[in-house]
Structure 1
Amino acid sequence: MPTFVSGKRIAGLMALLLAAFALVGCDQSNREWHGKDISGLMPPLEFELIDTQGEAVNASDSEGQVRLVFFGFTHCPDICPTTLARLSQAVGKLPDNERERVTIMFVSVDPNRDTPEQIAAYTHFYGDRIAGVTGSEPQLRQLAKRYRTTFGYDEPDENNNYNVSHSAGVYVFDTLGKARLLLRPDLTVAQIRDDISALAQERRS
Structure 2
Amino acid sequence: MFRNLAYLFLVLAALAGGVMLYQWSQLSAEPKQALVYPQPRVLADFQLTDQHGEMVNRQRLYGQWTLAFVGYTYCPDICPLTLAKLAGLQPELATQLPEPLKVWFISVDPKRDTTEKLNEYVSYFNQPAVIGMTAGHDQLFPFVRQLGLMYALSGSTDTDYLVDHSASVVLINPQGQLVAMFKPPLEVGKLPILDSEQMLADFPLVLRKLKAG
SS of match in other structure, 1:175 = coil
| Deviation, structure 1 residue 97 | 7.6
SS of match in other structure, 2:144 = helix
Does 2:86 align with 1:87? Answer: yes
State the TM-score, normalized to the length of structure 1.
0.73
In the alignment, which residue of structure 1 is the partner of 2:49? Answer: 50
Partners of 1:51 and 1:131 within 8 A in 2:
yes
In the alignment, which residue of structure 1 is the partner of 2:65? Answer: 66
Task: Answer with 172-181 or 45-54: which moved more.
Answer: 45-54
The residue identity in structure 1 corresponding to 2:195 is T
How many Å separate the matches in 2 of 1:99 and 1:85? 24
In the alignment, which residue of structure 1 is the partner of 2:35? Answer: 36
SS of match in other structure, 2:39 = coil
In the alignment, which residue of structure 2 is the partner of 1:147? Answer: 147
In the alignment, which residue of structure 1 is the partner of 2:11? Answer: none
SS of match in other structure, 1:37 = strand
RMSD: 3.2
In the alignment, which residue of structure 2 is the partner of 1:137? Answer: 137
SS of match in other structure, 1:38 = strand
Partners of 1:149 and 1:167 within 8 A in 2:
yes
SS of match in other structure, 1:50 = strand
Identity of aligned residues (%): 30
How many Å separate the matches in 2 of 1:87 and 1:129? 10
| Deviation, structure 1 residue 44 | 3.3
How many Å separate the matches in 2 of 1:30 and 1:59? 33
Partners of 1:43 and 1:179 within 8 A in 2:
yes
In the alignment, which residue of structure 2 is the partner of 1:190? Answer: 197
Gap runs ≥5 in structure 1: 1-24
Partners of 1:91 and 1:99 within 8 A in 2:
no
Gap runs ≥5 in structure 2: 1-22, 186-193
| Deviation, structure 1 residue 38 | 2.2
